[in-house]
């Protein structure tokens, strides 16, 4: 079992869009896949039409893996299950703060599901707190969407510096360009400089596309309603590249 976290401390960069489409392609390629929506906003749960639990269970999330098993819901797609977000997840940083060995807690509960799943995808909220550090510990790979703008470049460098300083392995980091507008000179220039500075950038990138925005309307992965569109091919190619690295 591998754990793939879709992470950035920035919001609105395409984490949820990537989580939904990559989990979909992972399942379609035959991997038993579980998407866990860690963001209390619940966007990936919404895209997959899965309702949150009625009970407030955020306090129990990191206790035992049985608590997580109870929250697993089937999706409309073969091989793909979802643990939907709950509003109580907004307290995860505090919940973890009060636990011992807080950085290892998430890894431990996820390990409990290794017989059930080949891949766990974590759709992360935008922050750099206790939950993020638990994610850095639990994930085999951290997939980071980067919009090719100056501020995103800065955020990405902050992440690399944080990893170096706190002793997390930078080898876990996989980055890709997200919401790319190839007609913009700045997008081109920043992609070139960042690829030079960080040669490990994935080759696949996701274009800025109305088909991705339309996921909210169709409440489905892009493949379901825009099968022949470039954005769909882009997510499929991103999945293939990530799959090879897992």
Ligand X SMILES: Nc1ncnc2c1ncn2[C@@H]1O[C@H](COP(=O)(O)OP(=O)(O)O)[C@@H](O)[C@H]1O
Binding site for ligand X (CB under 6 A): 11-17, 43, 179, 206, 208-209, 212-213, 216
Q: How far is the CB of 52 from ligand X (least distance, A)?
A: 17
Look up tokens 């995808």; give the residue. Answer: 121
- The entry of ligand X, Mg ion, none near residue 230 (CB within 5 to 8 angstroms by kind) is none
CB atoms within 10 A of CB 128: 15
Which one, of 128, 240, 106, 130, lies nearest residue 176 by Cα? 240
Element (H, E) at 80: strand 80-83
15 binds Mg ion (CB under 5 A): yes
- The entry of Mg ion, ligand X, none near residue 11 (CB within 5 to 8 angstroms by kind) is ligand X
Strand order in the sheet with 173-177: 73-74, 80-83, 33-37, 119-123, 2-6, 141-146, 173-177
- The entry of ligand X, Mg ion, none near residue 68 (CB within 5 to 8 angstroms by kind) is none
Q: How many residues does the chain have?
A: 246
Q: How far is the CB of 30 from ligand X (least distance, A)?
A: 25
Bridge partners of 74? 81
- Cα–Cα separations (whole angstroms), residue 211 to 18, 73, 166, 228, 239: 13, 26, 38, 11, 18
Q: How far is the CB of 192 from Mg ion (least distance, A)?
A: 28
Nearer to ligand X, 17 or 27 (CB): 17
Chain positions 28 to 87 lying near Mg ion, rule: CB under 5 A, are: 39, 43
Nearer to ligand X, 68 or 180 (CB): 180
Nearer to ligand X, 59 or 127 (CB): 127
Look up tokens 């307290």; give the residue. Answer: 91
Q: What are the residues binding Mg ion (CB under 5 A)? A: 15-16, 39, 43
């Amino acid at each position: 079992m591998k754990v793939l976290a879709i992470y950035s401390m920035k919001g609105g960069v395409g984490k949820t869009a990537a989580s939904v489409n990559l989990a979909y392609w992972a399942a379609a390629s035959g991997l038993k896949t579980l998407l866990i929506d860690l963001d209390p906003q619940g966007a990936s749960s919404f895209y997959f039409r899965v309702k949150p639990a009625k009970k407030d269970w955020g306090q129990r999330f990191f206790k035992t893996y049985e608590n997580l098993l109870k929250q697993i819901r089937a999706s409309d797609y073969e091989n793909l299950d979802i643990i939907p977000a709950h509003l109580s997840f907004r307290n995860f940083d505090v919940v973890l703060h009060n636990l011992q060995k807080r950085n290892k807690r998430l890894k431990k509960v996820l390990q409990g599901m290794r017989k059930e799943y080949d891949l766990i995808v974590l759709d992360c909220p935008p922050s750099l707190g206790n939950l993020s550090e638990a994610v850095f510990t639990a994930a085999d790979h951290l997939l980071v969407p980067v919009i090719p703008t100056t501020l995103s470049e800065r955020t990405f460098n902050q992440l690399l510096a944080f990893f170096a300083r706190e002793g997390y392995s930078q080898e876990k980091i996989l980055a890709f360009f997200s919401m790319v507008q190839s007609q913009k000179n700045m997008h081109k220039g920043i992609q070139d400089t960042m690829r030079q500075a960080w040669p490990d950038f994935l080759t696949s990138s996701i274009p800025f596309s109305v088909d991705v925005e339309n996921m909210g309307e169709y409440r489905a992965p892009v493949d379901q309603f825009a099968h022949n569109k470039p954005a769909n091919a882009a997510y499929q190619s991103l999945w293939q590249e990530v799959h090879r690295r897992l």
